[in-house]
Amino acid sequence: MRAAVLAVFFAVSGATAVLAEAPTFRFPSIDGGSYSTADWRGKPVLVVNTASLCGFTGQYENLQALSDRYDGRAVVLAVPSDDFAQELASEAEVKEFCEVNFDLSLPMTTIQHVAKGKVHPFYAWARDAHGFTPSWNFNKVLIGPEGEFVKAWGSTTKPDARPITSAIDGLLTQ
């Protein structure tokens, strides 16, 4: 009898887990079109709010190196934002700045609100469901292969730092 009750409990729990699946987010691409986190299911995704005129802007180099390191097994997404008044005036300027100075080829969105004003739905989810709001530029949010929130890091943690790469590596071996 107990086994039957447990079997029903786990069957119901499994159904609930499907209903509670992590949400999907769409980001407008700086190159036109859009990115959907659904397209990246099965891979870890590191989402980083960026700004071209910030003291941490050199981390673009680390972001590209991280993207190259995982070569499609994980995704690095740059989300330019002027919420801390350090981004260039237009997407065209951001795109050119990143290409000329950092030879950036990783996915990048249009300029988005991440901490102030009408924030992008991804950042509203990180704030409301997980208590994380970027406190400055170059904050990092790792989402897992099923779109779940894994962990967040501040500006001073470089994208290719051991805590981040260890977390990504751990998700790749699951």
| Contact by Cβ (8 Å): 74, 46 | yes
Is 98 marked active-site? Answer: no
Q: Annotate the chain with three-state secondary structure.
A: CHHHHHHHHHHHHHHHHHHCCCCCCEEEECCCCEEEHHHHCCCCEEEEEECCCCCCCCHHHHHHHHHHHHCCCCEEEEEECCCCCCCCCCHHHHHHHHHHHHCCCCCEECCCCCCCCCCCHHHHHHHHHHCCCCCCCCCEEEECCCCCEEEEECCCCCCCCHHHHHHHHHHHCC
Task: From the candidates 51, 54, 79, 98, give the one annotated as an active-site residue.
Answer: 54
Active site residues per annotation: 54
